[in-house]
């Protein structure tokens, strides 16, 4: 198990370029299974989860040609479906949460799919009902065998379009059902669909491949099924979670940072939430400039009551950035209530921040009140463990702002979502050693 040794209390300065979007990559890369023709994808992040998925596709028979550091051409013209029954597939797919999104393309093109219970972050219950209820609406038959190692089996000789109301606006659930529906017979209406930029990107890519999807960017997608799809070329968005992480990092470390090529129009309310924490920023074209700030003050509501930041389906605030908002608030002036509605275990890293000296009241598994220090008390370095991707980066930010040396263990979790984060931050003045 690898660790980071962080020497804190250093101010950073310079430019940093966000990686390609992790959550978009997992969907887009699975979509290459929908066609025999070549699909070229650009701006692929070099992170653990994405690399594992690419390798898994290679095991299935997808040919991969690396065109540059961030671009790969995929050709899925000779897929080995027998591999789905192998122990190798079971082990590799089970280690990766994003592997569940292989099912939609498999059903669309091959009319069957197999997947073990997928892994991923330990952030609470993450049910898969939305995926399988959607497949069943399209005419698929689903079975789950606990004795068979927890294997999900889905078969569909005839996928037929239908109307469905998703039980939750799940991003991966919407993507999975959408990819199955593009080659179903007839018209499918998906209501209560997720509409995150990742989904919009997937829809646009599928339409370039020959799909007929309307309602993009809304919560109702209408899909007219087609018999086959062709190849295409696609460039992924910059990772909005990295962008938000860098905004919080700049504020906490009193650093002057320019975040390059952010595609600001796709960030939704993310910049506004950080502005409500008092963080100054300037939009310079598609770059975000964060000046060095001695202090930042959390806004109250107009009636003077305490600000609350909660996650919600898009265009609400993404749950992946609540950990970053929470840690950033620890050095602000003022108080904020963080309300994590979607996952019941994602706030359980705050005990480490409290040990570092932060003033946080964990109200229950979903809510934490942060009373900012206003720079009057500095966090202190400790040894801690990264429980998941986003909490891991929140702890990294805390360590970089703290007095003294911190050790973060289990940084494989951070590597799952952030590309060479130590090297990139060291380039602008951080002192992070990988042990």
Residues 6+ apart with CB under 8 A from 343: 123, 124, 125, 126, 319
User: Can you list the positions of beta strands (E) in 54-102?
Assistant: 63-66, 72-75
Q: Which of 59, 82, 121, 388 is catalytic?
A: 121
Sign of CA dihedral 414, 420, 421, 426: positive
Task: Supply 305's token pair.
Answer: 């009551």
Residue closest to 398 by CA, chosen among 390, 279, 167 = 390
Residues 6+ apart with CB under 8 A from 48: 412, 415, 416, 417
Any known ligand binding at 230?
no
- Measuring CA to CA, how many Å separate 246 from each of 122, 253, 327? 24, 10, 12
HSE-up of residue 62 (Cα within 13 Å, Cβ side) = 29
Any known ligand binding at 356?
no
In DSSP terms, 3 is beta-bridged to 409
Any known ligand binding at 23?
yes
Helix axes 87-94, 48-60, angle to 10 degrees: 160
Locus of tokens 């065998």 = 145
Residue closest to 251 by CA, chosen among 321, 327, 309 = 327
Any known ligand binding at 97?
yes
Residue 121 among the catalytic residues: yes
DSSP 401-425: HSBSEEEEE-THHHHTTSTTHHHHH
End-to-end CA distance of the chain: 9
Task: Supply 293's token pair.
Answer: 């700030």
Any known ligand binding at 51?
no
With 0-12 CB in 10 A as exposed, 13-18 as middle and 19+ as buried, what is 294?
exposed
Residue 307, H or E segment: strand 307-310
So which residues are the catalytic ones? 121
Q: Which residues are annotated as a binding site for phosphoenolpyruvate?
A: 22-23
Q: Which residues are annotated as a binding site for UDP-N-acetyl-alpha-D-glucosamine?
A: 97, 320, 342
Q: Which residues are annotated as a binding site?
A: 22-23, 97, 320, 342
């Amino acid at each position: 198990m690898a660790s980071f040794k962080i020497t804190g209390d250093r101010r950073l300065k310079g430019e940093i370029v966000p990686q390609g979007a992790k959550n978009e990559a997992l969907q887009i890369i699975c979509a290459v299974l929908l066609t025999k023709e070549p699909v070229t994808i650009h701006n692929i992040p070099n992170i653990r989860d994405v690399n594992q998925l690419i390798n898994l596709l290679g095991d299935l028979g997808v040919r991969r040609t690396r065109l540059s550091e961030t671009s790969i051409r995929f050709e899925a013209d000779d897929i080995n479906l027998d591999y789905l029954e192998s122990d190798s597939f079971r082990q590799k797919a089970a280690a990766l949460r994003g592997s569940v999104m292989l099912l939609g393309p498999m059903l669309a093109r091959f009319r069957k799919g197999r997947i073990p219970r997928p892994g991923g972050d330990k952030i609470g219950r993450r049910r898969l009902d939305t995926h399988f209820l959607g497949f069943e609406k399209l005419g698929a038959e689903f079975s789950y065998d606990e004795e068979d190692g927890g294997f999900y089996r889905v078969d569909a000789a005839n996928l037929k379009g239908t109307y469905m109301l998703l039980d939750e606006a799940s991003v991966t659930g919407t993507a999975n059902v959408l990819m199955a529906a593009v080659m179903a017979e007839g018209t499918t209406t998906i209501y209560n669909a997720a509409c995150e930029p990742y989904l919009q990107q997937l829809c646009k890519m599928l339409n370039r491949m020959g799909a007929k999807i309307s309602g993009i960017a809304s919560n109702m997608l209408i899909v007219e099924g087609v018999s086959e799809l062709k190849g295409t070329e696609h460039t992924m968005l910059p990772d909005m979670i990295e962008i938000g992480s860098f905004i919080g990092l700049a504020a906490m470390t009193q650093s002057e940072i320019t975040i390059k090529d952010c595609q600001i129009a796709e960030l939704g309310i993310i910049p506004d939430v950080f502005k409500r924490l008092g963080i100054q920023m300037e939009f310079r074209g598609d770059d975000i400039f964060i000046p060095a700030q001695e202090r930042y003050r959390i806004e109250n509501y107009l009636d003077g009551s305490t600000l609350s930041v909660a996650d919600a389906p898009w265009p609400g605030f993404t749950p992946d950035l609540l950990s970053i908002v929470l840690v950033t608030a620890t050095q602000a002036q003022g108080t904020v209530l963080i309300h994590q509605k979607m996952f019941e275990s994602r706030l359980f890293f705050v005990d480490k921040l409290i040990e570092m000296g932060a003033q946080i009241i964990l109200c229950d598994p979903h809510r934490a009140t942060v009373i900012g220090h206003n720079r009057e008390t500095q966090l202190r370095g400790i040894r801690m463990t990264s429980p998941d991707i986003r909490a891991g980066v929140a702890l990294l930010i805390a360590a970089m702002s703290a007095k003294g040396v911190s050790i973060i263990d289990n940084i494989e979790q951070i590597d799952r979502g952030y590309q060479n984060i130590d090297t990139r931050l060291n380039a602008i003045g951080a002192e992070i050693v990988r042990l």
